[in-house]
Amino acid sequence: MIVFRDPAEVPADFGRTVAAIGKFDGVHSGHRAVFRRAQLDAARLGAKTVAVTFDRNPLSVLRPDRCPDDLVSVQRKIELLADCGLDAVLVLTFDEQLAAREASDFVTSILVDALHVATVLVGRDFRFGRGGSGTPALLAELGAQHDFTVDEIEDVFLEGTDRRVSSSWVRELLSVGDVALAGAVLGRPVSVRGEVVHGLKRGRELGFPTANLPALLDEMVPADGVYAGRLVDHTTGIVHPAAISVGTNPTFDDVAQRQVEAHAIDSPGLDLYGHDVTVEFTHRLRGMTAFDSLESLIAGIDSDVVQARLLLGVPAKPGMLGTSDVPDSRTE
């Protein structure tokens, strides 16, 4: 996928395009439905597919008091858009200058002159141009003048629910740690990616070594607690079942910032320092708890690993921690 950071970077001979415009925060299942529609339109027209998005949430400029935290970083958003099979993405710098641009100028300079759009896809609540004066109806009027059509995309609902798929719903679910439902809304597992860093090494001392991720990550971290999931080691290509902790370690109360730690089940001697890894969250086991003794902490972690094994379908290995009372699926 080609990444353009300015309309002027689009080659004059790029050809006609089908453009989907939006914040696309999280690139959730609703966004993916829009891109599939764009790809169908593009195949019919012999055009290229382009996502037009922004380098920040427009509310950070227009209404910073109402701007929510981003679900993903800009770089992660670009990676996720690439996974959708788009031909290109145009990342616009949303500043006061862009916010003040008239709606008609936005259309002519970006959509018509730079992207040569054949079709534009937008949601019902899409607004653009100074003061939000641009609406899907105005976009259709301008399309008639400039030889492009407008597809106003209907809301996407998660199967089995009556709720519209949205980035705000994902934020709500992550705030309470419901990673299973958040993953369904996203259309992919809740995950964070980073390079494994050195921590206090307390997990190793307790018999449950962990891979610690840095404080700044590429996606929003779910609520404090303990989770089951996977540790994907991009350096080696190996995927490990994992028990994952998110929080500040209240038992010892000596961690200043929230951190993500993943214990790779049945891999006690694993050395991941410096490795590029993704931690995927699939199930929430419990909230974060301060234990009253070292023994109760170890027993609690052991129980967490047992639950993670069961949820992930990992058979118990004799002699390993985290196997208490776990039936061996190979003998059932």
Residues belonging to the active site? 261
- The residues facing 1 across adjacent strands are none
Residue 147 CB-half CA count within 13 A: 6
Question: Would you report the helix, strand and coil content of the chain in percent, each value rounded to 5?
Answer: 35, 25, 40
Decide: 171 and 68 in contact? Cβ < 8 Å. yes
Contact predicate 211/234, CB 8 Å: no
Torsion of CA 133, 135, 138, 139, to 10 degrees: 120
Helices vs strands, H then E, count in the chain: 10, 12
According to DSSP, the residues that pair with 238 across neighbouring strands are: 233
Burial class (CB in 10 A: 0-12, 13-18, 19+), 117: buried
Closest CA to 98 of 46, 61, 67, 126: 61
Query: How far is residue 66 CA from its own chain's centroid?
Result: 21
